[in-house]
Structure 1
């Protein structure tokens, strides 16, 4: 029996009702890997003014560290994922985390902007490998009917980065400095890497073996009749590339809309509230809402993915719309209330969008989820780069332009999702 066939058979015989505790623990470790990677990716967001002052550059230039990271990740993701295909998923994930540790240490030791940029490039080189493999690895651990839940669980690590990682590094950075904070993050990454060596050890139970899950592609979805304007699920072993590329295009616009404002979160909050101390609180609120959004979307994404996508995009548009409204002159208490609600709705919706789109890509990709995921991750990075760079340009006019343009882009995404339905329906 082939490895793929054995994996599929094991998955089909697993208890369909729930995910067992050992598998849940392994999913948690994969989520931890997502946590440390996302935390470093958005590391400059809450510390943008501190880093700019220390490196003697502008806030806009520090913002470009995020867009530059994304550009590198977008360029190298497809070739690095192809290279990683020569080894097991587990090995590729371990190497990715090892490179991240090196990048974090380089950031802490940066003597100038150029060295800081090098640290970002180093992490970006394996960013796409981790994000292309982590969701398929999680999906291979569970029966097919729980793929959406497993994907949401892994993306919970990204949400946790928003809850604890970004506000945590901002808070710690204010206490011990951003350089020391980078070293703390490096220590956390080492701990996650060690945990991953345990999580990927072979085990035999009634479900998929961890060793095989790390190597094998995600379980394939069965073909299903497609409603009008909806892409068909891929047949066994085939990728519906037109549908995958359409979905990736929609994701690019969504991510551009998000990072256009999120990259300069600290500047937006400070301008609206007049209180830089509100940044940590609202970053935490953003993260908590993101965790709630990820949790809520899990089962709905397994049952009604098209509806989940539409509701998520509508909430995202509402969130950035409220963020734009927060700039309208009003009593300070009203502005605080508006931006707090905006951040919560925006954070919850964007976090939920991740598993919705990632799961859709895997369903469209059938037996080649790794390669399709690499294309999706490339599109995601293009969106980050475009959003951060466009935000740096608009910042010269006024921070109020950022959420306003995000709203326009969000409206375009909502219209496409509602009319064209790029997220496939289930049979």
Structure 2
């Protein structure tokens, strides 16, 4: 890829960075926000699941609505709505206003996530779509490395409200960059699922295969957010010190960077194997976290937690590009619509995981990684037996049994 293409992909990654950073903003500052708004920690945790519920409900119709304008216009509008949501959240004087800010961002969340990967695919040849998708998802990984621990650290220094205003300023900068990145440049690649083809050619999707892949992804996302939503509480309980939260969030994010780099190398050549390895490493990481409290003294527990979080973070970062690219390969020319179904499933997983985690938290924080491990084990079994992720050169030769237009 030339320098201009790399720069454009970097801007698209910046868009996913700011969106994910706002989406998971409550995770590291959950107790500060709860105290400031005079609500329980569990109620603040539901801001994440509530966000996901709204996004899940509106993604398919909002993406259909966005198809009436250019992909670039839809993406820019999504980011402008995010800026408004961030400012509203920063000035929230009560829990209802905070909920309003989350709903506003959730309304366009699905539009951005459904269109961003297909937009990246138009910038590269067909055999580099997996790499481009991984690059864009690198923004969400960077959110884990810098966004989540960074906002947690900055929030402890200047307060969570001021931190949200800083995030809003960053979102404005990304929006300006996106206007440049998506302007017509004559570089769109037909093999990379061009915009015109994606919007004009319908009915080429084998609906059952897309839905099966999305269903497997939903279980994995549920397993992740079941524990990740309450990361601060879980880590403090296992390590015995709240100060470990920022360190382990950074550990999670740095490992995610490695996972994103690796998936970028192998997702275009061995996607099925990559999916299996990703699920196995995920299961090993979250399983080790569940076992950490019984491994010995405080030092051993903290070391085990560090290794567990690294495995978990690396695998989760790799999972997104694997499933997203798989959906796009199965969808062919209908990538936008198929991506909207995938994003809807993603949000269902977030809301379901956060809600289940809130219920289990009342029993014991340790139930979170234990339950996550069981769910990821089921995903690994499905990946090995059902093989839902298509091969790099695979096209579905069966006659479509349904169309995503019917959903």
Alignment partner of 1:110 is 2:92: yes
Q: RMSD across aligned C-alpha pairs, in angstroms?
A: 1.8
Aligned partners of 1:293 and 1:352 also within 8 Å: yes
Alignment partner of 1:256 is 2:222: yes
CA drift of 1:126 comes to 0.2
The superposition leaves residues 372-426 of structure 1 with CA deviations (integer Å, 9 ceiling, x where unpaired) of 0000000000000000000000000000000000000001000000000000113
1:216 maps to which residue? 196
Among 177, 183, 190, the alignment partner of 2:159 is: 177
Alignment partner of 1:191 is 2:157: no
Alignment partner of 1:100 is 2:66: no
What's the secondary structure of 2:272's corresponding residue? helix
1:340 maps to which residue? 306
CA drift of 1:200 comes to 1.7
Aligned partners of 1:26 and 1:199 also within 8 Å: yes
The superposition leaves residues 216-255 of structure 1 with CA deviations (integer Å, 9 ceiling, x where unpaired) of 3569xxxxxxxxxxxxxxx996001100000010011000
Distance 2:16 2:106 in 1: 14
What's the secondary structure of 2:268's corresponding residue? helix
Alignment partner of 1:41 is 2:7: no
2:53 maps to which residue? 71
TM-score, normalised to structure 1, is 0.89
2:318 maps to which residue? 352
Q: Relative to 1, partners in 2 of residues 1:399 and 1:187: Cα closer, same or farther, differing over 3 Å?
A: same
The superposition leaves residues 33-92 of structure 1 with CA deviations (integer Å, 9 ceiling, x where unpaired) of 000000000000000000011111111111100000000000000000000000000000
What's the secondary structure of 1:266's corresponding residue? helix
The superposition leaves residues 113-155 of structure 1 with CA deviations (integer Å, 9 ceiling, x where unpaired) of 1110110000000000000000000011100000000000000
Aligned partners of 1:140 and 1:216 also within 8 Å: no
Match runs of 1:4-403 below 5 Å: 19-204=1-186, 207-208=187-188, 215-217=195-197, 238-328=204-294, 330-403=296-369
What's the secondary structure of 1:86's corresponding residue? coil
Alignment partner of 1:409 is 2:375: yes
User: Can you give the 5+ residue segments of structure 1 that lack an aligned partner in the other structure?
Assistant: 1-18, 220-234
Moved runs in structure 1, 4+ residues, more than 6 A? none
CA drift of 1:299 comes to 2.2
- Larger mean CA deviation between 91-100 and 235-244 belongs to 235-244
Distance 2:315 2:142 in 1: 15
The superposition leaves residues 321-346 of structure 1 with CA deviations (integer Å, 9 ceiling, x where unpaired) of 01101122620110011000000000
Aligned residues between the structures: 392
Distance 1:45 1:384 in 2: 13
Q: Relative to 1, partners in 2 of residues 1:190 and 1:259: Cα closer, same or farther, differing over 3 Å?
A: same
Aligned partners of 1:236 and 1:366 also within 8 Å: no
Aligned partners of 1:322 and 1:338 also within 8 Å: yes
Q: Relative to 1, partners in 2 of residues 1:88 and 1:239: Cα closer, same or farther, differing over 3 Å?
A: same
CA drift of 1:208 comes to 2.1
Distance 2:11 2:184 in 1: 15
Distance 1:305 1:218 in 2: 22
